Amino acid sequence: MTEMNEDVVVIGGGAAGLAAAIRAKETGAESVLVLDRDSELGGILPQCVHTGFGLHYFKENLTGPEYIARFVDRARALGVESKLDTMVLRLKPEKEIVAANSLDGLLTIRAKSVVLAMGCRERTRGALSIPGERPAGVFTAGTAQRLMDIEGFMPGKRVVVLGSGDVGLIVARRFAVEGAKVEAVIEILPYPGGLARNIIQCLEDFSIPLLLSHTVTAVHGAERVSGVSVAGVDEKGNLIAGTESMIPCDTLILSVGLIPENELSEEAGIILDPSTGGPVVDQHMETSIRGIFACGNAVHVHDLVDHVTETGIVAGSSAAKFALGELEPLKNRVRLRPGSGVRYVVPQVISGYQPATVYLRVRNPVRNATIRAGDITFPLRAARPAETVTLEFTEKRNEKLRGKAELEISLEEKGHVD
Amino acid sequence: MKADVVVVGAGIVGSTIARELSKYEIDVAVVEKEADVAFGSPTKANTGVIHPGFDDPPGTVRAEHCSRGNALWHNIAREVAAPFEEVGCLVVALKDEEIRVLEELKSRGDANGVPDLEIVDDDRLHRIEPHLNTGAVAALLAPTAAITSPYELAMAMMENAVRNGARACFETEVTGITVKQDRVRGIQTTRGEMETQFVINAAGLWADRISAMVGLDQFTIHPRKGEYYILDKKAGYLARHVIFPTPSPISKGIVVTPTVEGNTLIGPNAQDIDDKRDMATTHSGLAEVWAGACRLIPSMADKNNMIITNFCGLRPEPDTKDFIVGSSKTVTGFINAAGMRSPGLTAAPSVALKVVDLLTGIGVELRRKPAFDPRRRSIERPMRESSLESAQSLIKEDPDYGYVVCRCEHVTKGEILEAIRRGASTLDGVKFRTRAGMGRCQGGFCGPYVLKLMSEELGIPAQSITKRGRESNVLLGRAKDLLREGNSND
């Protein structure tokens, strides 16, 4: 068995992992190794051929491949090592990793610190329990995108998309641009999940109907999909009797949620937050195991890759400092908990002595509200569940945190709800 | 084309009969309308339980073959290296009144020759099955009950049969049987005619139609749908045994069982339907399955985020209320192995022995084949089963076994290529042999790569690869094809 020793090992070479590896190297870690199961670096971005990436981080409008190429190039220039087509099989709490690939066979890698950047996976038809037949032609949005943009195939010609998050909208447009007929995008909620600009640029510009407060109730087709049944749902999400109709199509695309991939974290014994599906992290992005850090969509599903990059930078810097013996333990750990109107808060632990950026998601769309964290308040003009809200705990605000062990963050609505 | 014996159907019954016949110096052909072994509903989608044999009253054909089949599988499954685990089963009484039924089942089982049956009290019951409903008062424990993967078992049996000289013809549907002077002379199929004097009808749901082709219409097979949920391996701790409720007259009830891969499987309900092609799960059926499982394992209630998928199967329910195993009295050379709903999987090897007797009985001379090799080698699974040292040496020998294609189930490229070499011609064929695509992401990550591997290995364009044969193509062309055709969204 091949054995290796590294300062920092990053599991996952997507946007989060590359940012972490680069920053770890920049911070002074001597050896930084990225492990990825795909045959190229970049994670999901090489297949995201649309624009909209980098508006915050680079102040430029880039495509996915353009955005990630900058990180791949930088990592190479800095001497970040990588092993591709390599699957991590085990992560032990003492920071020993067992991985496999064709070239080395089995690898044991001992790391001074580890960064988890495994990203997320798509929720499937099975997880949603959509009943009906099981024909060919049901794909998750990411798989369809990969087939079109990397492999060069058409997964379908007459398409229904379930889920109006940004991924669903972008894939609907991608099908339309390829000349496929997109019959409808279906959304169970009474409002669309994706950004307003994507509703216009992906649906309205291509005359694709958006069916709100509806869902797919059955899949039809013995061999290939022949259609889907759709029905209206009430505010509680219950089906409304008598509203069922059939949309003929050959393909159903599911864009119904992403799930952080944390099987390795769980096996290592890292504590997960049930509200995010990712590890509980502090503002260093350190997990419940000392020296193991996490970032990006493995921690919680982000709305923008720019934010993913930022969490990678924090994790990479912390991991390098830990490997060099320079990471001071967090002073005065304050555990943040989501209160009313708040679905989750990340990081879950901050200090009263260092500035921290905290991301949260609201449960329902709100306007003119206030976010309250103990004595600290943040005005919130508008937010939707699909967008993360960023809270800056500045040095001044932080003074009010000192001495606290726990803090609930909740939403106080002043104005009306959409 | 010619064959001494034609077996119609490559489900578990047909595959097991073919493997039994491959022990003899005769030419056996299996014809199957689907694209692969076990692609018909009854074998593909059932609970995967090798029953001990206490359900059916003594004197029935089912009782005759069930307990004997159970004993036979213990050896055969090992020979063909199919997954098989003797986990035992529990029939659980949730009320005192049900204990009487357990006692009835036990005496029935004793009469059928089922070994080691015992009724366990609540104290012991909750110790051996810790997540069971605390209200359970007693259970019948049958230690010889086992679990298997029904499609892998059927595929392993057919693979071994073919290795020993049997032929398998897929996507070949029988359209007629030639009978002259009350003797079978041949069959007609969608791929031409085949001369034969002996036809064994193991056609599952369609066995009544095959039987009618020789003018025998004494029975009909109607489909009884059963729906299932399969849960994540993370919920695999919920059941240690195959857990049955106390049975109703029409069904053994909704079961909670571990699978050989460590998942938890729940189901089936029982719904009589008309259409043998109706393979759709339903809201109401799945709700019934969920509720039934929660009655046995109440902590199931908050596990709906652990669902991997749902599916359904059709039981081939004969109107005669028993297996139909026997030689036709009017057409010499036609043998039925029909109506084999549960416990058909369990009974298959016993019925296969019976078929050998029946063939001998109508004058077929069966001489043992000295070269018969009962053993099959399973596909290596270096990332899952073996120790890391043996994985290392396997990867050194064949680097493809070091490349993990299916992330969720840790299936390597080597396994997928081996499955294709062993006959997988469709995406489901690869999935059933290797589990690539059976995990949490349901093939989202590995699907495109498996298509690419199949395309390279089979030498066909990826667009012609199907999920399970016929028109179930996964891809509908190359990117830009539609633009060239001038199609558009408006």
Among A127, A148, A181, select the one facing B307 at the smallest CB separation: A127
More confidently predicted of B195 and B250: B195
Summarised one tens digit per residue, pLDDT across range A108-126 is 999 999 999 999 999 999 9
Q: Which residues contact A320 (CB under 8 A, 6 or more apart)?
A: A7, A8, A23, A24, A25, A26, A27, A28, A29, A32, A113
Q: Evaluate whether A210 touches A164 at the Cβ level (below 8 Å).
A: yes
Residue A195 has what pLDDT?
86
Question: pTM for the complete prediction?
Answer: 0.96
Which residues in chain A touch residue B309, judged by CB atoms under 8 angstroms apart? Answer: 124-127
Summarised one tens digit per residue, pLDDT across range A30-63 is 999 999 999 999 999 999 999 999 999 999 999 9
Grade residue B386 by pLDDT with cuts at 50, 70 and 90: low
Among A145, A223, A250, A275, most B C-beta atoms within 10 A, so best to mutate, is: A223
**What is the average per-residue pLDDT within A223-234?**
98
Using the Cβ of B444 and the Cβ atoms of chain A, whether some distance falls under 8 Å is answered with yes
**What is the average per-residue pLDDT within A394-415?**
87
Summarised one tens digit per residue, pLDDT across range B226-274 is 999 999 999 999 999 999 999 987 778 999 999 999 999 999 999 999 9
For B380-490, the fitting CATH number among 3.30.56.10, 3.40.50.11540, 3.40.50.300, 1.10.10.1100 is 1.10.10.1100
Domain map (residue ranges) of chain A: 2-121+258-323, 124-254, 333-413
For the domain spanning A2-121+258-323, the CATH number is: 3.50.50.60
Q: Evaluate whether A409 touches A385 at the Cβ level (below 8 Å).
A: no
Q: What are the two backbone dihedrals, phi and then psi, of residue A297, each rounded to the nearest 5 degrees? A: -70, -10
Please say if the pLDDT value at position B372 is more than 90.
yes
Q: Which of B105, B102, B106 is nearest to B122 (CA)?
A: B102
Q: Is B402–A150 a contact, with Cβ atoms under 8 angstroms apart?
A: no
List, as own/partner pairs, every contact residues B63-66 make where C-beta atoms lie below 8 angstroms and the sequence separation is at least 24, other chains included.
Answer: B63/B108, B63/B112, B64/B350, B65/B323, B65/B325, B65/B343, B65/B346, B65/B347, B65/B350, B65/B351, B65/B354, B66/B112, B66/B343, B66/B346, B66/B347, B66/B350
Using the Cβ of A182 and the Cβ atoms of chain B, whether some distance falls under 8 Å is answered with yes
Q: Which of B230, B200, B146 is nearest to B29 (CA)?
A: B200
Q: Is A207–B475 a contact, with Cβ atoms under 8 angstroms apart?
A: no
Grade residue A416 by pLDDT with cuts at 50, 70 and 90: very low
Q: Which residue of B has its CA nearest to A125?
A: B309
Q: Which of B240, B256, B252 is nearest to B105 (CA)?
A: B252
Q: Is B51 a catalytic residue?
A: yes
User: Mapping DSSP to helix (H, G, I), strand (E, B) and coil, where does residue A408 land?
Assistant: strand
Contact map slice: A 240-259 vs B, CB within 8 A: 250-251
Domain map (residue ranges) of chain B: 85-144+222-318, 380-490
Grade residue A413 by pLDDT with cuts at 50, 70 and 90: confident
Which residues in chain A touch residue B282, judged by CB atoms under 8 angstroms apart? Answer: 131
Using the Cβ of A85 and the Cβ atoms of chain B, whether some distance falls under 8 Å is answered with yes
Q: Do the domains spanning A2-121+258-323 and A124-254 agree at the CATH topology level?
A: yes
Using the Cβ of A180 and the Cβ atoms of chain B, whether some distance falls under 8 Å is answered with yes
Please say if the pLDDT value at position B444 is more than 60.
yes
Summarised one tens digit per residue, pLDDT across range A278-296 is 999 999 999 999 999 999 9
Grade residue B485 by pLDDT with cuts at 50, 70 and 90: confident
Q: Which of A33, A36, A56, A32 is nearest to A44 (CA)?
A: A36
Q: Which residue of A has its CA nearest to B449?
A: A151
Summarised one tens digit per residue, pLDDT across range B117-154 is 999 999 999 999 999 999 999 999 999 999 999 999 99
Summarised one tens digit per residue, pLDDT across range B468-482 is 999 999 999 999 999
- Please state whether beta strands A366-373 and A376-383 pair in parallel, antiparallel, or not at all (unpaired): antiparallel
Place of tokens 């991985």: A99
Q: What is the DSSP letter of B203?
A: -
Q: Do the domains spanning B85-144+222-318 and B380-490 agree at the CATH topology level?
A: no
Distance of alpha carbon A344 from alpha carbon A337, whole angstroms: 8
Which residues in chain B touch residue A142, judged by CB atoms under 8 angstroms apart? Answer: 444
Residue A345 has what pLDDT?
97
**Amino acid at site B278:** D
- Model ipTM? 0.96
Q: Evaluate whether A14 touches A48 at the Cβ level (below 8 Å).
A: no
- Please state whether beta strands B192-195 and B183-189 pair in parallel, antiparallel, or not at all (unpaired): antiparallel
Could you give the angle at the alpha carbon of B27 between the alpha carbons of B22 and B29, nearest 5°?
85
Residue B490 has what pLDDT?
46
Contact map slice: B 221-260 vs A, CB within 8 A: 229-230
Strand partners, A389: A360
Summarised one tens digit per residue, pLDDT across range B16-69 is 999 999 999 999 999 999 999 999 999 999 999 999 999 999 999 999 999 999
Q: How far is A183 from chain B (nearest CA, A)?
A: 9
Among A106, A126, A147, select the one facing B448 at the smallest CB separation: A147
Superfamily of domain A124-254: FAD/NAD(P)-binding domain (3.50.50.60)
Using the Cβ of B470 and the Cβ atoms of chain A, whether some distance falls under 8 Å is answered with yes
Residue B486 has what pLDDT?
67
Among A98, A102, A207, select the one facing B403 at the smallest CB separation: A102
Q: How would CATH label the architecture of B85-144+222-318? A: 2-Layer Sandwich (3.30)
Using the Cβ of B482 and the Cβ atoms of chain A, whether some distance falls under 8 Å is answered with yes
Q: Is B467–A129 a contact, with Cβ atoms under 8 angstroms apart?
A: no
**What is the average per-residue pLDDT within B320-333?**
96
Catalytic residue of the set B51, B131, B222, B241:
B51
Window from A65-69, A112-116, A398-402, B92-96 with minimum mean pLDDT: A398-402
Using the Cβ of A132 and the Cβ atoms of chain B, whether some distance falls under 8 Å is answered with yes
Distance of alpha carbon B60 from alpha carbon B63, whole angstroms: 5
- As a whole-number percent, the residues of chain B with pLDDT over 70 amount to 99
Burial B189-219 (b: 16+ CB within 10 A, else e): beeeebebbbbbbbbbbbbbebbebbebeeb
Residue B390 has what pLDDT?
85
Q: Evaluate whether B390 touches B402 at the Cβ level (below 8 Å).
A: no
- Sheet with A356-362, side-by-side order of all strands: A342-346, A356-362, A389-393
Summarised one tens digit per residue, pLDDT across range A329-366 is 898 999 999 999 999 999 999 998 999 999 999 999 99
Distance of alpha carbon B182 from alpha carbon B329, whole angstroms: 10
Residue A417 has what pLDDT?
45
- Count of residues in chain A: 418
